[in-house]
Amino acid sequence: MLAYVVTRAQGKADRLIADVAQALLARGMRLAGAVQVNRDLGPGLKCAMDLHLLAGRDVVRISQDLGAQSQGCRLDPGGLERAVGLAQAALGRGAELLIVNKFGKQEIGGRGFRPLINEALMQGVPVLTAVSADNLAGFQAYADGFATRLPADIAPAPT
């Protein structure tokens, strides 16, 4: 099963996916994957983007400082691939769910977490991710009708 959420507000998907992951970890679920946490570096500076791996304590920086005037993509592909490798190792140890912070441009292009998503699905491990409105068409082309859209909020657990 491939499930996804779509949010429009900047940062909402990161918080939502992190909250879901935290709730599942608190229930003892074995997770593979990563959640993104952005750190404010101060006025006039772009945030630092970190991936917190869900199986362990690893944190991988996936942004690079290109200078204050840069307009290009700040993603550090090497950092992203390192995070993918760590998540792949966790999947191999028997995760019950793969959580991918987002299905973005890298994944649309066949890179980033996409090979790991494919691997999880082939193993029967469900996958949860977030997709921005800008990347929704690319995600839907990838999913080819086999993904389930979930509401972009967390319902309280039954007591």
- Give me the pLDDT at residue 159, please: 45
- Domains detected in the chain: 2-149 (3.40.50.300)
The single-letter DSSP state of residue 63 is: B
- State how far the Cα of 31 lies from the Cα of 54, in Å rounded to an integer: 6
Q: Which parts of the chain register pLDDT below 70?
A: 40-47, 65-74, 154-159
- Give me the pLDDT at residue 55, please: 93
Long-range contacts of 141-148 (CB under 8 A, 24+ apart): 142/103, 142/107, 142/108, 142/114, 143/2, 143/4, 146/2, 147/2, 147/3, 147/4, 148/1, 148/2, 148/3, 148/4
- State how far the Cα of 7 lies from the Cα of 69, in Å rounded to an integer: 28
Per residue in 107-128, pLDDT tens? 999 999 999 999 999 999 999 9
pTM of the complete model: 0.87
